[in-house]
Amino acid sequence: MAYTKEQQKAYRLAHLEERRERDQRMHYRPNKQKALAAGARWVARNKDWMALKARLKRHGLTLDQFAALEERQGWSCAICECDKGLCIDHNHHTGQVRGLLCHKHNLALGHFGDNVLMLGKAINYLETVRAHV
């Protein structure tokens, strides 16, 4: 008697937990310290990758979307064009990603609360002060 694909899948899923437990008994449990050490080494070697994946997940971006954003901006800050420590800039109300900024400019926009009026006042202040110096 031939089984359908659905029946084969149901069988595999039903026995998956049993196979996992058997594998744990046979390999992981006797080698637990070795496995934990290997995991710690992997984490130590891949901290940057893990941090990037966490940032992308937080902003709802795929790696391909992030790469396209980097390329579109020339791998640099949208304000000063430096290429160090880029942050994902987003609208705090909608969560929509706007672009990439260096840490300094990302913080600056955040401190101004993304308020264009306040940024304009800051520009006017700087121009006024510069004229008197």
| In-domain check, residue 85 | yes
Q: What is the pLDDT of residues 14-28, one digit of tens each?
A: 888 888 888 878 877
Tell me what pLDDT residue 70 has: 93
| In-domain check, residue 12 | yes
Q: Are residues 9 and 39 in the same domain?
A: yes
Q: Residue 77: name the closest of 108, 123, 51 by CA.
A: 108
Domain that includes residue 20, residue range:
5-44
CA distance 100 to 82: 11
- What does pTM read for this prediction? 0.63
Which CATH number characterizes residue 119's domain?
3.40.1800.10
| In-domain check, residue 55 | no
Asked whether 35 and 43 are in contact (CB, 8 A), the reply is no
The total number of structural domains that make up the chain: 2
